[in-house]
Amino acid sequence: MPAAVYVLGMSVFALGTSEFMLSGILEPLARDMDVSIPQAGLLVSAFAIGMVVGAPLLAAATLRLPRRTTLIALLTVFGLGQVAGALAPSYGVLFASRVVSALACAGFWAVGAAVAVSLVPVTARARAMAVMVGGLSIANIAGVPAGAFLGQSAGWRSAFWAVAAMSAVGLVGVVAVVPRTQPPTGEDAPRLRRELRIYRDRQVWMTLVTIAATAATGFCVFSYLSPILTRTAGLSESWVPWVLALFGLGALIGTSVGGRIADAHLFGTMYAGISAAAVVLTALALLAHVPVAAVTLSFLLGLAVFTAAPALNARMFNVADAAPTLAGATTTASFNIGNTLGPWLGGLVIGAGWGFAAVAWTGAALAVTALLATAVASRLRGAPAGTRVIAHAPATPHDVPTDARQQC
């Protein structure tokens, strides 16, 4: 696997820490900002909404720009967004900083995913995406728990400063390792109209629904894991970082397993991961008040949801092969539609007075929805696809050196 793919994964570690760390600092942040936990949870949705909007817009806006330059600019803006969050004097300013950070994060994900896929053969796409998603998993193992520790010991703002520092490290890596390229010209130049043709394909839309429902499945519960552990299971706040680390460990194992088997068994991996998530969430809904069960099921939830993630990423690039930049943007937007929907639905359940454990029932229902979407997507595999009209368009971007694309 090319070194640049691992550098992108390292950068995703910083992005993922920022995206997920609010789960571990939700309660101190809510107290300091004098808002309710559901209101604080909306900061998670704010980030996800920024990702949904930013991924396609920034992918389209930067389509003809050198990808290395684009990655550098986006990572710089992201880091500055973390600084703004650390200095935020009010909830409104913090909310705005999350949206700006998310826009930059979305663009980085979209362009970075296209670069990662272009650097490897078609048969290694799931593995390449597993490296990037692995950065997200490691963020849950190390970054999010560390953010929780910082939030409890030095205030929640210190977590934002730490992410800003990690962003700077990722920026150095991108500058040093990602190949310097020039945008292609002539017939090889990327064209937005040509890439937009992927949205004629029902398989693209069905994959979008499947990804969104799967992401909502995990994020619905993960966003409120801290109060589930403290207020339902009766654990102290000091337990929260450790359980978040367990969730991240499960996510890392799931990503590794999914990345190894998804290239050969794409739909089998999706079915297995999503079905397991449905079972785990049903068990959590029934046993959330039992501390040992809540901790164990948190680990299993990360394992189940992230087992499906590499397959979901690879599926989108397979059905939108002729438009790799928008494929990456659509994948990013899809995951974050789920990341927006999940916390919002969870907040509705909590606000209705049904209790924190009821959030797990909501997640289980979303998992069933994801399974149904997977079944429909599987049936569509043999159907005529709009992208086949441009099936002979370059499957890998021409702005990456040929020798780099052949490394694996």
| Type of residue found at 278 | A
- The dihedral sign for the CA sequence 93, 142, 280, 294: negative
Which residue type occupies 142?
Answer: A
Q: Tell me, what's the pLDDT at 80?
A: 93
Residue with tokens 């599926």: 315
- At residue 7, φ and ψ (nearest 5 deg) are -65, -40
- Amino acid at site 297: L
pLDDT by 10-residue block (mean), the chain, 408 residues: 83 85 80 82 78 78 78 92 91 89 86 78 73 75 79 85 91 86 56 73 89 91 87 86 85 85 87 95 94 94 90 82 71 82 87 88 94 89 47 36 34
Which among 129, 141, 291, 323 has a CA at the least distance from the CA of 211? 129
CA distances from 89 to 39, 44, 85, 94 (A): 16, 18, 9, 8
3-state SS of the chain is CCHHHHHHHHHHHHHHHHHHCHHHHHHHHHHHHCCCHHHHHHHHHHHHHHHHHHHHHHHHHCCCCCHHHHHHHHHHHHHHHHHHHHHCCCHHHHHHHHHHHHHHHHHHHHHHHHHHHHCCCHHHHHHHHHHHHHHHHHHHHHHHHHHHHHHHHHCHHHHHHHHHHHHHHHHHHHHHHCCCCCCCCHHHCCCHHHHHHHHHCHHHHHHHHHHHHHHHHHHHHHCCHHHHHHHHCCCCHHHHHHHHHHHHHHHHHHHHHHHHHCCCCHHHHHHHHHHHHHHHHHHHHHHCCCHHHHHHHHHHHHHHHHHHHHHHHHHHHHHCCCCHHHHHHHHHHHHHHHHHHHHHHHHHHHHCCCCCCHHHHHHHHHHHHHHHHHHHHHHHHHCCCHHHHHCCCCCCCCCCCHHHHCCC
Angle at 116 between CA 113 and CA 122, to 5 degrees: 105
pLDDT of residue 385: 43
Q: Tell the residue number behind the tokens 């200095």, with chain if given.
A: 87
Domains of the chain: 3-394 (1.20.1250.20)
Q: What pLDDT, on the 0 to 100 scale, is given for residue 188?
A: 53
Burial (Cβ within 10 Å: 0-12, 13-18, ≥19) of residue 166: buried
Residue 382 has a pLDDT of: 57
What's residue 294's pLDDT? 93
pTM confidence score: 0.69
Residue showing tokens 């929907």: 341
Matching residue, tokens 């068990």: 283
**CA 74 – CA 41 distance, rounded (Å):** 25
